[in-house]
Amino acid sequence: MRTVLAVDGGNSKTDVCLVAEDGAVLAAGRGAGFAPQSAGVAAAIDVIGETAARMMPGARPPYADHIAAYVAGADLPIEEDRLQAELLARGYSSSVLVGNDTFALLRSGSSAPWGAAVVCGAGINAVAVAPDGRVARFPALGRLSGDWGGGSGLAEEVLWHAARAEDGRGPATTLTDAVRETFGTPTVEAAVIAFHLGDMSMERLHELVAPLLVMASGDPVARAIVARLAEEVALLGTVAMRRVGLLAAPCEVVLGGGVLTARDPLLTALIEEQYAARAPHATLLVTEVPPIVGAILHGLDHLKAQPSAYDKVRAHFRQPAQGAMAGGR
């Protein structure tokens, strides 16, 4: 029976699964974050190889008949091509397809291989795929390519508003208390200086997202940030849909990433309002399975697997927490 080695490469971890053509999960493992843009293509692919070797002791390449890798850091087609070439050169499989992880989100949450998806985790991105195969995507390179939002962007916004509120340049906001309490500093300025001097890791900034969502219901400044995020989530999805002609008829829009899967009531309601106005035929879906499922389903598509295989995969990952493979991004 043929097999797929599916890869979900995120900023903080890389999940790898070996799946049989009938949908049976044969092995699973988790490795370090997938970071080709900072660590380099070779180092990123090393993570896949090391994880596959750990989860299949004694196995040697090729590990599967096909590799379906959907990863962060593959924001441009040329980046996908480079990662694909490196995987082929390693001999992990003679058949490899690499795509941006947002395509895996779409495949994991939609009832069909087409539709739209918006991910809001550490960063933010969106894709749309038409029934005829046309694709709309964004460079997703951060501020350079016009992006705003994601956990990192939200946290920076919180710190910006808190600093201005504390020194008098901006309106008062409870976000100043959020910064002080989150980082245990007497002032917002002290937290800013700690980040600047390296006494506090910039990775801790994301800790401000949760209090932002909590305070948004009663704080005008916090609510404005959350409302802007809802608008961005809707803009990304509807612009992508329009590019491939999906606005005029029913279309599923899959929402994923830690910020959106948290299902904050206010953010969710604002996103629903935005889509109702911009894309009234859209059906919003919050994914209920981890992103690795999308990579597996793409792999099964390549093998032209039977429908029962897809059902088996979805059932497997809808079970209660299953160790390393049960986490979010």
Tens-place pLDDT, residues 36-64: 989 999 999 999 999 999 999 999 999 99
Q: Which residues of 234-272 are buried (b: 16+ CB within 10 A; e: fewer)?
A: bbbbbbbbeebebbeeebbbbbbbbbbbeebebbbebbe
Whether the pLDDT of residue 324 is over 70: the answer is no
For 134-143, write each residue's pLDDT tens digit: 999 999 988 8
Among 11-15, 164-168, 191-195, 270-274, the minimum mean pLDDT is found in 11-15
Residue of 53, 54, 142, 108 lying closest to 298 (CA atoms): 108
What band does 328 get if pLDDT is binned at 50, 70 and 90? very low
In this prediction, residue 319 carries a pLDDT of 53
Residue 174 DSSP code: T
**Cα(325)–Cα(3) distance, rounded to whole angstroms?**
18
Euclidean distance between CA atoms 40 and 109, whole angstroms: 30
How many CA atoms lie within 13 Å of 274's alpha carbon, on the beta-carbon side?
22
Q: What is the chain's mean pLDDT, rounded?
A: 94
Structure-block tokens of residue 129:
């795929």
Cα separation of 151 and 37, whole Å? 19
In the chain, alpha helices (H): 36-39, 41-55, 77-90, 101-109, 150-167, 175-183, 188-197, 209-215, 220-243, 258-261, 265-278, 292-303, 307-317
Locus of tokens 């992103």: 291
The pLDDT of residue 327: 31
Strands 135-137 and 3-9: unpaired
> Per the structure block, which two tokens stand in for 159?
């710190």
Beta bridge partners of 99: 70
Non-local (6+) Cβ contacts of 2 within 8 A are: 20, 21, 65, 66, 303
pLDDT number for residue 321: 38
Q: What is the mean pLDDT of residues 224-246?
A: 98
Reading the block at residue 88, the tokens are 């082929």
Q: Which helix (H) or strand (E) holds 17?
A: strand 14-20
Q: State the average pLDDT over residues 213-217.
A: 96
Whole-model pTM? Answer: 0.90
Q: How far is the C-alpha of 93 from the C-alpha of 68, rounded, in Å?
A: 10
In percent, the amount of the chain with pLDDT more than 90 equals 88
Confidence label for 192 from pLDDT (cuts 50, 70 and 90): very high
Looking at residues 240-256, what average pLDDT do you find?
A: 97
Length of the chain: 329
